[in-house]
Structure formats: C-alpha cells, structure tokens
C-alpha cells in the first residue's frame, strides 16, 4: 500500500514536472560566448574556484556588453593570478573587449600578439592569430589579413580555425572578384576540412557554392559530387540540396536569352537525377511522402523552364499516383493563376474537398482581380459555411473594402466586427479611425482613436487630425503627452517644433528645433532639426553635439 | 617715333617682359613670394595708368594702341587680386568671370586690330595698282566693297594674304573671301595660343608642404613631478631647544605641467615643424572641392578657422586663406606636387560625370591624395558619397575607423568620435588602399563645429572637432610625405 502510494506520488510529480516544462514560458535565450571567446574545458578544469569566480564576473560584464568593465575584470585576473592556466584566456578576452570597444590596434598590439608571444603553444594562441587577421580586415588591410589566414591554415591544418581562416580568405577573394581563388578555397573547405560540428556550416556553404559554380559551368556531375562532400547520399537532404542548388541555377540561366538552351540541358539532367530517386512502389506512407516530394520537385524544375504542359503533367501524374488532393489542386491552380488563366484556377478551387478553403481561394482571386463586390459576396457566403470563424471572414471583408477605398462599407464591417469579436476592440477602432481619416472626417477619427489603447502612437495620430483642423493648441497638448514616453520623446519634440512652424509661431518653432538638437543629440530628429534650422532659418547655432560613446 | 617717346617705350617693353615673368611665376613656377607678386602686378598697373594718362595727347591710332595694350596689365592685376581674395563667394565667381571675360576681350581687341591692319594693307595694294593702271574708270564704293577694283596683270601671281588679289582668293568676291580667311586664321591661332597657355602653364598648379620634420606620435601633455621639501634647520636632538618638526603632509608636491609640446609635430628629420617632403615656401593649404548637384559651399567660412587652428596646434606654416577647386582641376596638379588632402561637404546631391570620377580616382591612387568628406546635413548625402566612392574605387569597401587608428590618435588622441548632429550615423568610415586611408568620411557635420559660433555645441565637442580636423589634415600630409620619401629613395 505504502509502496503504491509512493508510486502514485512519484508519477504525480513526474506528470507535474512534464506539465510545468510544457506550459511554463521558456526562459529567454541567455547570451552565450562565441566559439572564439570560449575557454577549453581542460584548462577550465584546472582553474581554482577563486579564479573561476573572477572569470565569471568578467564574463558577466562581457555578455552584458559592458566591455570596459569586462576588460578591467580580465585585467584584474591577470594581475591577481599571473601564473594561472587561465592567463592566456584572460588576456585573449581582454583583447576581445578592446575589439568590441573599437580599439583594434590596441587589441592586436597589447593583446593578441602578447598571447601568441607568451603562450605560443596554447589554444588561445591559435585564436589570437586568427583574431590578428580579423583585425587587419577591420583596419581595411585585406592583403595582410590574407597572409595571416593563409599562415594559420598552413600551421594548423586540422584545427577548426583553419576552416574559419579559409572562410575569411574566401571573403577577401570574393571582394577581389578572384573566382579562381574562390574555387580553390571552396574545394579545400568542401573536400579537405575535418568533418566536425564546428566546421559543418562552412562545409555546407562551401559545398553549395562549389556546386553552384559547377552547375553554372554545365558540369552537373561535378556539382553533385561537391554536394556529396557534405550531404549523406542515402538521406533525402542530399537530393533536396542537389535540387535546390541546381534549380536556382536553372532558373537564373533561363532568365537570360543567351543561356536558355544551357538551362534546358541542365534542367533535364536534374529531372532525370530526381526521377532515378523515385520509389518504385508508393504503397507505404513513407514512400508516398517521398514520391510527392520528388514529383513536386520535378514540377518545380519544369516551372523554372516555363514548360506549361509538363508542369501540369507532373501534377496530374502526382494525382494519378497518390490520388488528387487539395494540395495538388492548389499547386495546379497557382500555376494557372501565374499564367493569368484565372477561370481555370477558380474551376480547380471549386474541386477542393475542403469547401471553405476553396471558397476563400476563389474570393481571394476576385480580390486580386479588383472585383471587390464579388470578392465580398464570396467572403460573406463563407459565414454560412463556417460560422465559427465569422470574425476571420469579416476581417477579409473589411480588408477588401479598404482595398476598394469604400470607407463607409469598411466602417460598417468594423462595427460588425466589434460585435462579433469585442476582444480586439482597439484594433477595430483603430481601423475605423483610419477610415475616418481617409474620409477627412477628422473629429470622428479623433473619437475613434480615443477608443483605442495604442498609445503613444494614438497621440500622434490625433495630433495630425487636429493639424488638419488647424487646432494647433490641441495638437500640441497631445504631442506633449506623447513626449512623456521616452521611446518617442525625440519624435514628439520634433513634431512640436513643426507644429509651431506650421502655425506661424516662428520663434517657438526655432526654440523647439533647438531643444530637439540639445535634448536628443544622438537622435535622427536632431539631425533633421539641425539641417532644417540651417537651411530654412539660416541659424547656425543649433545646439546639440554628442559623441559616439 | 619721336625721340621723347623712345625711352619710355624701351622701358615699357622691358617692364612687359618682367610682367610676363611674374605672371608665369604666379601660375606655374611659384619661385617668388606673394609680396613680389603684388609688387610686380602693381607696377604693371601703375605703368598702364601712366601710359593711359599720356595717351590723351596722342594721335587717334596711337591712343587706341595704348588703350589696347594697357588692357593686359589691368586684366592680370584684376585676376590676381581676385584670386588672392580667396575662394569664398563672391570672389571665386568674380575671379572666374574676370579671367574668362578677359580672354574674350583680348580676342576682340586682337580681332579689331587685325581687321584694321588687313583693311589698311589691302587698300594700299589696291591704290598702288590703280595708279599703275592708267585710264581706269572711276570705281563705285559698292563695287570696291564687293571685289577687287584693280586686278593684277595677267601672268603675275600674288601670294601676299593681305592683298585681296592673292590668287587663292579667286577672281570673284575677293573681299569676302579675304575677310573670312583672315578671321578664321586668327580664330585658330588664338585658340591654339590659349590652349597652349592653359596646358603648359596657365592651369598647372603646384602644392608644396612646409619643410621641416617631427614625430608622428600622440601629443600627450607631460606632467613633471617635483618634490619640494621645505627647508628645515636640523638641531641637535639632545639640545634643550624644542624645534617643531613639520609633519609629512607639509611636504609640498609641485606639479608642473609642461604646456609646450614635448616634441615637434611633423614627419621626417628636417628642422622645425613640418614635413620631410616639403619645401621652404610650402604651406599647408585647405582646399575645398566644388562639385555640381549640391551645396558644396555650405559653411565655407569655417574653413579658415580650421586652417588657423591647425597652425596653432601644429606650428606648421599655413596658407593665408582657404581655397576651393573644382574636381576637374585636381588634374592640373602634377604627381608629387598635388594636395595631400582635399575637403568636401554638403547636404544635397553629388552628381559627378565620368571624367570627374576618373580624375578623382587618379588623384586618390596615382597622386596619393586623400578625401576628407563631411556629411553636412542628411543621410542622403552620406549615401550619395558612399555611392560616389563605389564608382571611384569599385573594389574597395569602406570600414568603420577604429578609435585607436593613427588618424584618431596623432597628434591628438581622441577617445570618441565627436559630431554636431548624427546625419549619417555615428561612425567615421574610411576607404583604405594599400594600408592608407584615401577617403575619410565624418558622419556628423564636423565643419559646423569649426564655425565661429561652433553651432552652439559644448566646448568639449568643438574642441574635439578641431583636434579631429587637425589629425585628419596631419594624417593626409604625413602619408604624402612618406610617399614622397619612398619615391625619392626608389629614384
């Protein structure tokens, strides 16, 4: 009995834990150190607790972006624990802080170079060498950086930073438009880089770039081989990659009249490659999914080559094998729509098993055709089919009336929505206010804005309505209310100045523009106010002035 | 020529040669000082005035000749004086108009005298021939205007172009043909002369840095600590006289800040502040670029302030006033004597043609120049400038200039980037070629902080703006000096 009670308690606790894990909001992703900023675990294990504590303090500042404080803490570590195994790491991090503070030369001279000189065999020395190259790039000296990266790749060929170095060299070669060097580096990264988790994104990217290059050179097989360096040929991702990369080249080549024939040839090679992968039998659910995927991919290639009949044939074939469903019909209808055969598309939408979706697609097609009355008729007919989602159909209706610039009808629909879906009253009142503004009914617009909870934006909109009514003081009161919100204070102050200007109060306008410059010198409104004071009023004393700190 | 006039004429010819030398020196050689130029052109003006006064009593033709020749010293003086008034408005425009207008007037004067001379010569030939041809009937004025009234005898061929009966004028409408030919010939000759003058001397300009030397390192005030211990009398400790020993706090520390520069700002081993690649008559000049499409002259008055502040902070010799040049005029500076740095600002559009873009590229790369761009009032101008640089240096991407780059450290270490308003962000950008910044872009109207009222920004900001301006100008000159030295060595 006791045992069973214990079991029940344990099960209950487990269930509670699972429920808590499932329903509690996930914590915001904590900032983490990047690969270049991490300490090897072996070195960390050798640190004393007090040393770890000091590094933790420094790391906290670093992750919070307080680099001056972080640098001071790393520096303190070096002073306190001069002979610690954490020494090189601490100096490396100090140098990272300098880079973040845009003291690139200081970082190299007093940080990275010292790491290399004092601890040449450490992991940090390799990172520091890499960072020296990065700093050369930040200083606008790609030739120096290229040399450093090449040396690093040569000295530590198996290190993951050798791959990163090659990636950086790729960037330099790309800036120089040196395709030969790029191909060389892509090949190095794709074929010769150790297959580790760290190098995976770079190998994938290099394989794809190299494949793109070969596909563009009409070397289909070589392109496929390049992708094979990263993707497992027995997994579907391999075929997806071949299709994605090759199809994008096909559509690019097809767009230019001079390369159309090459696109056709490449496209045919790709189709036959995909055809070979089609399962012989599609009875199993897994095989059915694969067949659908591959036949859709074949249709995509035909689309890239603008082969109308073949595209439809591919979808018909898919329907024959798996049975025609709404997805296939949707793809066919979309193709017809793209070809401006809207009636055929609608006929296909009419064949949908899901009548609601079919009707909605028909309504959208009328809306796209700017046949708004018919679109609304179709949307309203959906209410009969699916009363539970009336708010959604009414929102589609209001969107259609707004597209048609029929403001009264839009407002009437918003009023209906307020009854159907009162929870979103603020959004609907905002919509009504916008429609009133379009009708130049400023007072009514103000009333509707007042019924929203979208502040401080509503203050600005109401102020604009008052501007149209030339009620400057009312507008200014609202803008001053908006100014109390820190996030928009600069914008509000600038608009206040403009209101004074428009109302002919030149002195106050000038003063307000100057206040914008003085109080918010780092804001873009300070820039606009400064230029305006100079060009419009010829006033050079605009106040303001700041630093990038 | 009467004997009384012979002396002044000879003197005037000699003075004219001297005046031509001054002109050539002012435009091209730059050997003489500004005072010499003022004196030379002033004397030319005085000579012209003397002749004009004397011409009132002369015959009509001589008087007109004096008037015509006096035009040239007056014109030269006017262009020179307007040029020395500086590049600001309205002097720059007036200088340009007076130079162009003068060329046009010179053309007209030459044409008038040529017409007079040809007409006179032609008439003499006709009269001589008429006298010889006895029994010639009376010739009406219309006939004389239209064609020759005294044809040469058959078999004789006239070559003289001033004679309207020259064979190449034909036998009909000789007068018209002669006029057209002579005018056309004169036009070609005049254009050729103007072209040669512009190419060989007129448009050629030189930029020379001040000679000297110095160190390229941050200028930090040195604080020297001197311990001054109060003098005290040491008594015998066993003495019965009690003496008060001053406590340690009373030892005064006398801190003396060395206010003068501990080193000379410059580059190279020469004496005094300056640059190894400079010359004795060289000066640091502030050249603002003129370009079409926008307001290149925005806040132009501040240029002089910056130039003066540069002098105060570096002790380098500077020009008396800032200047302006069109981008196309950068072509006129030869390699090795071109401005190490030019400044441009504005807030509207920058619209440059292909030629101007090419000239700018040549200036930045082959001539080792540098562009100091200041966003004068809009994000749009910043984008325009980036787009311009993309055309000028298509293979170079810009970088955010690190705060510890020499341009931000030497001679004044600036721990932040100061700006008046963040028109184009808050980062200084640079385009780097072979490790050298060829274009430095300031995002926030640094030029406004150089103005007399400093745009009302806090003193800390405008002071930093002057320091940054000094650093950028100094960087441009230092890099240029290094390049000149390297060229000298490789030669």
- What was the ipTM of the complex prediction? 0.81
pLDDT of residue B29: 63
Q: Is A527 on the interface with B (CB under 8 A)?
A: yes
Whether B474 shows a pLDDT value over 50: the answer reads yes
Whether A27 shows a pLDDT value over 50: the answer reads no
Closest CA to B322 of B310, B309, B304, B308: B304
Structure tokens given for B293:
């499409």
8 Å CB contact of A544 and B456: yes
Range among B48-57, B141-150, B283-292 rated most confident: B283-292
**Contact indicator for A143, B407 with CB cutoff of 8 Å:** no
Whether A409 shows a pLDDT value over 80: the answer reads yes
Of B403, B432, B455, the CB nearest to A140: B432
Residue A338 burial (10 A CB sphere; 0-12, 13-18, 19+): exposed
* Best residue in A105, A545, A546 for a mutation probing chain B (most B CBs within 10 Å): A545
**Contact indicator for B364, B433 with CB cutoff of 8 Å:** yes
- The whole-angstrom separation of Cα B440 and Cα B418 is 14
Q: What is the pLDDT of residues B402-422, one digit of tens each?
A: 999 999 998 999 989 999 999
Whether B356 shows a pLDDT value over 50: the answer reads yes
Q: What is the mean pLDDT of residues A472-494?
A: 95
pLDDT of residue A2: 44
pLDDT of residue B195: 76
Whether A472 shows a pLDDT value over 50: the answer reads yes
Segments making up each domain of chain A, as ranges:
427-484, 499-549
Cβ-based neighbour number of residue B340 at 10 Å:
26
**Cβ-Cβ contacts under 8 Å for B242 (sequence gap 6 or more):** none
DSSP B224: E
pLDDT of residue A189: 92
**pTM listed for this prediction:** 0.74
**Cβ-Cβ contacts under 8 Å for A106 (sequence gap 6 or more):** A98, B404
pLDDT of residue B2: 57
Confidence grade of residue B425 (pLDDT, cut at 50, 70, 90): confident
Answer with the residue of higher pLDDT: A182 or B165: A182
Q: What is the mean pLDDT of residues A425-450?
A: 95
- The whole-angstrom separation of Cα A418 and Cα A411 is 10
Q: What is the pLDDT of residues B296-307, one digit of tens each?
A: 988 899 999 999
Confidence grade of residue A71 (pLDDT, cut at 50, 70, 90): very high
- Reduce the DSSP state of residue B211 to 3 states and report it: strand
First to last CA, chain B: 57
Whether A8 shows a pLDDT value over 60: the answer reads no
**For strand B429-433 and strand B436-442, is the pairing parallel, antiparallel, or unpaired?**
antiparallel
Confidence grade of residue B30 (pLDDT, cut at 50, 70, 90): low
Q: What is the pLDDT of residues A115-160, one digit of tens each?
A: 999 999 899 999 999 999 999 999 999 999 999 999 999 998 888 8
Answer with the residue of higher pLDDT: B59 or B200: B59
- The whole-angstrom separation of Cα A151 and Cα A138 is 19
Q: What is the pLDDT of residues A371-400, one digit of tens each?
A: 999 999 999 999 888 888 999 999 999 999
pLDDT of residue B248: 61
pLDDT of residue B312: 92
**Which of chain B's residues have a Cβ under 8 Å away from the Cβ of A521?**
421-422
Q: Measured at the alpha carbon of residue B89, what is the angle toward residues B87 and B91, in degrees to the nearest 5?
A: 65
Q: How many CB pairs under 8 A join A and B?
A: 126
Q: What is the pLDDT of residues B231-263, one digit of tens each?
A: 555 556 666 666 666 566 665 655 555 544 456
Q: Measured at the alpha carbon of residue A170, what is the angle toward residues A165 and A174, in degrees to the nearest 5?
A: 150
A21-34: b or e for each residue (b if 16 or more CB lie within 10 Å)?
Answer: eeeeeeeeeeeeee
Give the side-chain half-sphere CA count within 13 A for A480: 8
* Best residue in A146, A516, A526, A527 for a mutation probing chain B (most B CBs within 10 Å): A527
Least confident of A228-232, A297-301, B94-98: B94-98
- The whole-angstrom separation of Cα A403 and Cα A127 is 57
Q: Which domains, from first to last, does chain B contain? A: 3-127+180-202 (no CATH), 213-258 (no CATH), 268-490 (3.40.50.12140)
Please report, for residues A216, A226, A242, A544, the alpha-carbon distance to residue A221 in angstroms, rounded to integers and kept in the order given.
12, 9, 10, 63
User: B287 to chain A, minimum CA–CA distance in Å?
Assistant: 22
Please report, for residues A278, A289, A317, B13, the alpha-carbon distance to residue A285 in angstroms, rounded to integers and kept in the order given.
14, 6, 18, 110
**Contact indicator for A362, A350 with CB cutoff of 8 Å:** yes
Structure tokens given for B267:
């580059």
**Which of chain B's residues have a Cβ under 8 Å away from the Cβ of A104?**
402, 404-405
CATH 1.10.1060 fits A427-484, yes or no: no
Whether B227 shows a pLDDT value over 70: the answer reads no
Confidence grade of residue B95 (pLDDT, cut at 50, 70, 90): confident
**Contact indicator for A514, A530 with CB cutoff of 8 Å:** no
**Element (H or E) spanning B225, and its range?**
strand B222-228
Q: Is A538 on the interface with B (CB under 8 A)?
A: no
Of B398, B404, B423, the CB nearest to A104: B404
**Which of chain A's residues have a Cβ under 8 Å away from the Cβ of B445?**
530
**Contact indicator for A497, A520 with CB cutoff of 8 Å:** no
Range among A523-532, B74-83, B268-277 rated most confident: A523-532
**Cβ-Cβ contacts under 8 Å for A529 (sequence gap 6 or more):** A494, A497, A513, A514, A516, A517, A542, B421
pLDDT of residue A335: 92
Please report, for residues A263, B32, B67, the alpha-carbon distance to residue B21 in angstroms, rounded to integers and kept in the order given.
72, 10, 22
Nearest Cα residue in chain A from B401: A139
Q: What is the mean pLDDT of residues B311-326?
A: 91
Ramachandran sector of residue B370 (left: φ over 0; alpha: ψ -120 to 50; beta: rest): beta
Of A140, A144, A543, the CB nearest to B456: A543
Question: Residue B440 pairs with which residues in a beta bridge?
Answer: B372, B430
Mean model confidence pLDDT for chain B: 83
**Contact indicator for A474, A459 with CB cutoff of 8 Å:** no
Least confident of A74-83, A242-251, B234-243, B475-484: B234-243
């Amino acid at each position: 009995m006791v045992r069973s009670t214990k079991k029940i308690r344990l099960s209950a606790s487990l269930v509670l834990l699972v429920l808590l894990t499932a329903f509690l909001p996930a914590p915001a992703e904590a900032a983490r150190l990047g690969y270049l900023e991490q300490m090897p675990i072996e070195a960390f294990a050798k640190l004393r607790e007090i040393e770890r504590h000091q590094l933790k303090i420094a790391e906290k500042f670093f992750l919070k972006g307080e680099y001056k404080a972080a640098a001071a803490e790393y520096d303190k570590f070096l002073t306190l624990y001069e002979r610690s195994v954490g020494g090189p790491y601490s100096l490396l991090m100090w140098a990272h802080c300098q880079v973040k503070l845009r003291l690139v030369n200081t970082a190299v001279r007093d940080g990275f170079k010292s790491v290399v000189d004092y601890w040449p065999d450490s992991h940090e020395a390799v990172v520091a060498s890499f960072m020296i190259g990065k700093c050369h790039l930040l200083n606008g000296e790609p030739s120096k950086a290229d040399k450093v990266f090449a040396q690093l790749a040569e000295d530590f060929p198996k290190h993951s930073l050798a791959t990163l170095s090659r990636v950086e060299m790729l960037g330099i070669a790309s800036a120089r438009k040196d395709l030969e060097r790029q191909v060389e580096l892509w090949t190095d990264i794709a074929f010769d880089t150790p297959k580790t988790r760290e190098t995976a994104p770079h190998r994938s990217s290099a394989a794809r770039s190299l494949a793109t290059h070969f596909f563009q050179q009409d070397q289909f097989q070589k392109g496929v081989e390049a992708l094979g360096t990263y993707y497992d040929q027995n997994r579907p991702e391999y075929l997806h990659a071949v299709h994605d990369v090759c199809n994008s080249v096909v559509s690019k080549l097809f767009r230019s009249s001079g390369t159309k024939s090459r696109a056709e040839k490449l496209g045919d090679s790709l189709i036959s490659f995909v055809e070979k992968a089609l399962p012989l039998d599609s009875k199993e659910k897994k095989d059915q999914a694969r067949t659908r995927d591959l036949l859709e991919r074949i249709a995509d290639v035909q689309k890239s080559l603008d082969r109308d009949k073949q595209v439809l044939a591919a979808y018909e074939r898919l329907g024959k094998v798996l049975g025609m469903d709404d997805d296939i019909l949707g793809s066919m209808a979309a193709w017809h729509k793209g070809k401006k055969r809207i009636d055929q598309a609608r006929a296909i939408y009419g064949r949908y098993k899901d009548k609601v979706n079919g009707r909605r697609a028909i309504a959208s097609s009328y809306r796209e055709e700017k046949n708004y009355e018919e679109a609304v008729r179709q949307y309203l007919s959906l209410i009969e089919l699916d009363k539970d989602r009336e708010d959604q159909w009414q929102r589609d209706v209001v969107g259609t009336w707004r597209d048609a610039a029929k403001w009264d009808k839009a407002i009437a629909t918003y009023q209906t929505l307020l009854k159907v879906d009162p929870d979103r009253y603020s959004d609907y009142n905002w919509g009504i206010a916008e429609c009133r503004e379009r009708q130049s009914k400023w007072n009514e617009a103000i009333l509707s804005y007042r019924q929203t909870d979208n502040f401080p934006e509503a203050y600005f909109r109401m102020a604009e309505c008052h501007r149209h009514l030339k009620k400057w003081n009312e507008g200014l009161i609202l803008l001053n209310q908006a100014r109390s919100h820190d996030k928009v204070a600069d914008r509000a102050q600038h608009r206040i100045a403009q209101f004074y200007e428009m109302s002919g109060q030149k002195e106050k306008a000038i003063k307000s523009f100057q206040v914008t410059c003085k109080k918010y010198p780092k804001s873009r409104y300070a820039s606009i106010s400064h230029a305006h004071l100079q060009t419009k009023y010829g006033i050079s004393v605009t106040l303001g002035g700041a630093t990038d700190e | 020529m009467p004997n009384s006039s012979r002396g002044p004429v000879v003197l005037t010819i000699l003075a004219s040669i001297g005046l031509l030398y001054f002109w050539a020196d002012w435009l091209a050689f730059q050997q003489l000082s500004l005072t010499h130029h003022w004196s030379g052109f002033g004397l030319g003006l005085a000579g012209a005035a003397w002749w004009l006064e004397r011409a009132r009593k002369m015959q009509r033709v001589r008087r007109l000749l004096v008037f015509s020749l006096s035009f040239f010293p007056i014109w030269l003086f006017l262009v020179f004086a307007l040029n020395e008034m500086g590049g600001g408005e309205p002097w720059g425009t007036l200088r340009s108009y007076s130079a162009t207008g003068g060329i046009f007037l010179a053309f007209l004067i030459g044409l008038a005298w040529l017409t007079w001379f040809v007409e006179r010569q032609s008439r003499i030939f006709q009269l001589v021939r008429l006298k010889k041809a006895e029994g010639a009937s009376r010739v009406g004025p219309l006939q004389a205007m239209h064609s020759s009234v005294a044809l040469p005898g058959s078999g004789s061929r006239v070559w003289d172009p001033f004679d309207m009966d020259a064979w190449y004028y034909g036998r009909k409408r000789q007068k018209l043909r002669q006029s057209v030919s002579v005018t056309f010939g004169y036009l070609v000759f005049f254009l050729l002369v103007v072209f040669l003058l512009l190419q060989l001397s007129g448009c050629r300009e030189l930029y020379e840095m001040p000679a000297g030397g110095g160190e390229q390192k941050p200028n930090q005030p040195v604080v020297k600590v001197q311990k001054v211990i109060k003098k005290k009398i040491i008594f015998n400790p066993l003495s019965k006289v009690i003496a008060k020993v001053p406590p340690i706090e009373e030892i005064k520390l006398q801190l003396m800040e060395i206010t003068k520069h501990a080193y000379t700002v410059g580059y190279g081993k020469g004496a005094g502040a300056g640059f190894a690649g400079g010359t004795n008559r060289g000066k640091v000049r502030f050249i603002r670029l003129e370009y079409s499409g926008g307001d290149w002259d925005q806040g132009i008055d501040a240029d002089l302030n910056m130039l003066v502040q540069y002098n105060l902070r570096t002790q380098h010799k500077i020009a008396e006033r800032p200047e302006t040049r069109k981008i196309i005029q950068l072509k006129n500076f030869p390699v090795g004597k071109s401005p190490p740095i030019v400044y441009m600002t504005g807030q509207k559009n920058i619209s440059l043609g292909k030629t101007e873009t090419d000239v700018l590229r040549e200036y930045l790369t082959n001539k080792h120049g540098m562009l100091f761009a200041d966003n004068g009032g809009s994000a749009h101008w910043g984008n325009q400038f980036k787009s311009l640089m993309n055309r000028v240096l298509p293979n170079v991407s810009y970088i955010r200039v690190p705060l510890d780059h020499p341009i931000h450290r030497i001679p004044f270490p600036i721990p932040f980037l100061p700006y008046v308003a963040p028109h184009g962000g808050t980062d200084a950008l640079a385009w780097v070629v072979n490790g050298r910044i060829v274009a430095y872009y300031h995002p926030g109207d640094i030029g406004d902080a150089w103005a007399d009222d400093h745009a009302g920004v806090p003193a800390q900001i405008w002071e930093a703006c002057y320091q940054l301006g000094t650093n950028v100008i100094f960087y441009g000159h230092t890099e240029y000096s290094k390049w000149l030295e390297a060229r000298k060595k490789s030669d």
